[in-house]
Amino acid sequence: MAAFVERNPVFCLLMLLCAVVAPWLFKSVLTILMYVVLAFVVVGLVIFGSMAWRLRSIRRQMREGMGSNAGGKAWGGFARDRGADRGRDGEVKVHRTAGARRKRVSDNVGDYVDFEEVGDSDNE
């Protein structure tokens, strides 16, 4: 309290004069200050609650996007389980899309250059 008075002497003097000269004005000033503080508290709680709600919804969306299931894995990996499409381990399936283009450059463009790698004389 003493530190507040040292930092704000003019404000404290005005509040003291208001309390002595016009108590009704002092009471109304305190009421206004109380409502301002209450408004800050309410706004803070609303902002905190909305942020908490938003973070929960983002967390839920991330959990659904990662493909986790309720029975086990925390993140579920990046790939979703596809059930019957998974196949056996080591089996590779290649699918061609309908809109796949052919090669843009024909086979008769360009020359093949045969080269031979020659070792350094210093290393040998």
Residue type present at position 58 = I
Does the residue 81 lie in any domain? no
For the entire predicted model, the pTM comes to 0.37
What is the structure's pLDDT at 28? 80
Q: How many residues does the chain have?
A: 124
Q: How far apart are CA 41 and CA 33, in angstroms?
A: 12
The domain of 15 spans 9-69
Does the residue 42 lie in any domain? yes
Does the residue 91 lie in any domain? no
Q: How many helices (H) and strands (E) does the chain have?
A: 3, 0
User: Taking residues 113-119, what's their average pLDDT?
Assistant: 81
How many domains, in total, are found in the chain?
1
Does the residue 124 lie in any domain? no
Q: What is the mean pLDDT of the chain?
A: 77
Does the residue 26 lie in any domain? yes
Does the residue 30 lie in any domain? yes
What is the structure's pLDDT at 75? 47
Residue 84 has pLDDT above 70, yes or no: no
Q: State residue 105 phi and psi, 5-degree precision.
A: -110, 135
Does the residue 99 lie in any domain? no
What is the structure's pLDDT at 43? 96
Q: How far apart are CA 91 and CA 40, in angstroms?
A: 62
Does the residue 48 lie in any domain? yes
User: Taking residues 30-59, what's their average pLDDT?
Assistant: 93
